[in-house]
């Protein structure tokens, strides 16, 4: 099977026919992935932020099984169903008050496409055709579809691979004031001046609240987000908050924007929405934005085949129930304290530039790029699954991880980074 995989199946951002085999997962339970040879390793990544309750969770399994017996899929054009209605009600209840319109889609990238369409159509339907740009941020990441790519970091994102093809947007400097650091207005100066100069052409600002994820795992000051909101209001520009990675507790708040006490005009959620069971995302907006979109008889121009898939909505309902009835705040606070205490030790290593943590996110930034060929087998040897990128070794475990399991994970991070330091020193000597 591994040979077939290598020859025929493409994996994310990877060469076809790669030099090393994929890691084969046979099953998963709790925080453990079971490999081909029966070895069980702790998933330090929550399958890219999504598996917040761990794997193979009884109540989520039951929600899926029950829904399969009723209807696993039905088109959403002209039809509706209970799982979607219940999920919309819940999302409206737990997000900020003005957000009371929900568009379901099948992945985070599509949720971002829908958010961009809402923003452009909002102005266009009302007769303003000048607003054709989005103001985004360096080091941002919003997905891999064309609209989403056009608002990802212009250097480390995918712009160079699609030179001349992507829609050209405007970029402000990445938020540079770290979370908890002393704030001053110079941090917002670049954003403020780009907005002031270009607001007539800008339909919306898009930003990942508090944590810039796949663009660099940067954790920034809530004051920055507050200033972004204030300036969007001043220049009458919509604000899109992309909570796809940060939503549902990961940063210690249910939604990361709560750290800054701001609200969005358009909000994207995904990933952990179904507890990582299946692909589902949503774009929420306000009555005001929808009235603008629908001015002069227009409608929002989007409608995926699997929109509001009942199976995914049922599992999402069960996942939200499980999360909201759990002591999630306390759990994440405990994880954050432990990550802080245990990962800080990595700063002893000269290869480590910085350790930062927020909620159930721990980041060890190195002074040089990682080598996955070296690190992946080393992590598996240590009994954990960690997938670094660029110069970042980061973990964001399922919220149900125990204290002992988390210590196992952080110790593995320290050991592997230390071995990597020795390995790079040795290869430089050679």
- Residues of the shown chain interacting with ligand PLP in the complex, contacts defined by CB under 6 A: 107-109, 112, 141-143, 208, 213-214, 242, 244-245, 270
Catalytic residue among 43, 106, 242, 265: 242
In whole angstroms, the minimum distance from the beta carbon of 244 to ligand PLP comes to: 4
**Residue 13: active-site member:** yes
Place of tokens 């889609």: 105
Closer by beta carbon to ligand PLP, 83 or else 157 = 157
Nearest to 393 by CA among 425, 427, 422, 353: 353
What are the tokens at 234?
A: 């001043």
Could you give the angle at the alpha carbon of 30 between the alpha carbons of 26 and 31, nearest 5°?
Answer: 85
**Residue 220: active-site member:** no
What are the tokens at 272?
A: 């952990």
Q: Give the H/E segment covering residue 101.
A: strand 99-105
Nearest to 241 by CA among 354, 118, 421: 118
What are the tokens at 191?
A: 């954003």
Closer by beta carbon to ligand PLP, 394 or else 414 = 394
In whole angstroms, the minimum distance from the beta carbon of 141 to ligand PLP comes to: 5
**Residue 271: active-site member:** yes
The CA distance from 228 to 218, in Å, is: 17
In whole angstroms, the minimum distance from the beta carbon of 107 to ligand PLP comes to: 4
In whole angstroms, the minimum distance from the beta carbon of 397 to ligand PLP comes to: 17
Q: Judging by beta carbons within 10 Å of its beta carbon (0-12, 13-18, 19+), is residue 98 exposed, middle or buried?
A: middle
Catalytic residue among 32, 55, 122, 141: 141
In whole angstroms, the minimum distance from the beta carbon of 402 to ligand PLP comes to: 26
How many other CB atoms sit within 10 Å of the CB of residue 237? 23
**Residue 242: active-site member:** yes
In whole angstroms, the minimum distance from the beta carbon of 311 to ligand PLP comes to: 17
Q: CB-hemisphere CA count at 13 Å for 308?
A: 21
Closer by beta carbon to ligand PLP, 147 or else 213 = 213
The residue number with the shortest CB distance to ligand PLP is 108
In whole angstroms, the minimum distance from the beta carbon of 266 to ligand PLP comes to: 13
Catalytic residue among 194, 257, 271, 394: 271
Q: What is the CA radius of gyration of the chain?
A: 22
Residue 363 contacts by C-beta under 8 Å, 6 or more apart in sequence? 217, 219, 354, 355, 356, 357, 392, 393, 394
Contact 400, 31 (CB under 8 A): yes
Closer by beta carbon to ligand PLP, 107 or else 283 = 107
Secondary structure (3-state) at 321: helix
How many other CB atoms sit within 10 Å of the CB of residue 161? 9
Closer by beta carbon to ligand PLP, 270 or else 310 = 270
Closer by beta carbon to ligand PLP, 139 or else 408 = 139
Closer by beta carbon to ligand PLP, 154 or else 270 = 270
Q: CB-hemisphere CA count at 13 Å for 63?
A: 23
Catalytic residue list: 13, 141, 242, 271
């Amino acid at each position: 099977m591994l040979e077939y995989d290598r020859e025929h199946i493409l994996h994310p951002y990877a060469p076809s026919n790669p030099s090393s085999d994929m890691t084969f997962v046979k099953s998963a339970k709790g925080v453990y992935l079971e490999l081909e040879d029966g070895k069980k390793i702790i998933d330090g990544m929550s399958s890219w932020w999504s598996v917040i309750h761990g794997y193979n969770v009884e109540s989520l399994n039951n929600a899926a099984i029950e829904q399969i017996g009723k209807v696993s899929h039905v088109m959403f054009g002209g039809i509706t169903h209970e799982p979607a209605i219940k999920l919309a009600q819940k999302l409206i209840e737990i997000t900020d008050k003005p957000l009371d319109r929900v568009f379901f889609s099948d992945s985070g990238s599509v949720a971002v496409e829908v958010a961009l369409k809402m923003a452009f159509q909002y102005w266009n339907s009302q007769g303003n055709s000048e607003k054709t740009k989005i103001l985004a941020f360096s080091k941002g990441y919003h997905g891999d579809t064309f609209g989403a790519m056009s608002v990802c970091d212009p250097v480390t994102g995918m712009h160079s691979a699609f030179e001349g093809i992507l829609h050209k947007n405007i970029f402000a400097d990445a938020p540079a004031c770290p979370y908890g650091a002393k704030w001053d207005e110079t941090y917002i100066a670049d954003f403020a001046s780009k907005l002031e100069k270009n607001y007539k052409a800008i339909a919306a600002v898009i930003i990942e609240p508090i944590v810039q994820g796949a663009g660099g795992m940067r954790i920034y000051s809530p004051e920055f987000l507050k200033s972004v909101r204030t300036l969007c209001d001043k220049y009458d520009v919509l604000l899109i908050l992309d909570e796809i990675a940060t939503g549902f507790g990961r940063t210690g708040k249910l939604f990361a924007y709560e750290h800054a006490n701001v609200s969005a005009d358009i909000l994207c959620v995904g990933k952990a929405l179904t507890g990582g069971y299946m692909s589902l995302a949503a774009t929420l907006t306000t009555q005001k934005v929808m009235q603008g979109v629908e001015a002069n008889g227009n409608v929002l121009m989007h409608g995926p085949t699997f929109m509001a898939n009942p199976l995914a909505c049922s599992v999402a309902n069960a996942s939200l129930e499980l999360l909201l009835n759990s002591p999630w705040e306390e759990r994440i606070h405990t994880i954050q304290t432990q990550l802080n205490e245990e990962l800080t030790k990595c700063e002893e290593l000269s290869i480590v530039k910085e350790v930062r943590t927020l909620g159930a996110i721990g980041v060890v930034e190195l002074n040089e790029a990682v080598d996955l060929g070296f690190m992946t087998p080393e992590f598996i040897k240590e009994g954990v699954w960690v997938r670094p990128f660029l110069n970042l070794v980061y973990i964001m475990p399922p919220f149900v991880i125990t204290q002992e399991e988390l210590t196992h994970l952080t110790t593995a991070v320290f050991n592997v980074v230390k071995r990597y330091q020795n390995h790079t020193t040795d290869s430089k000597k050679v």
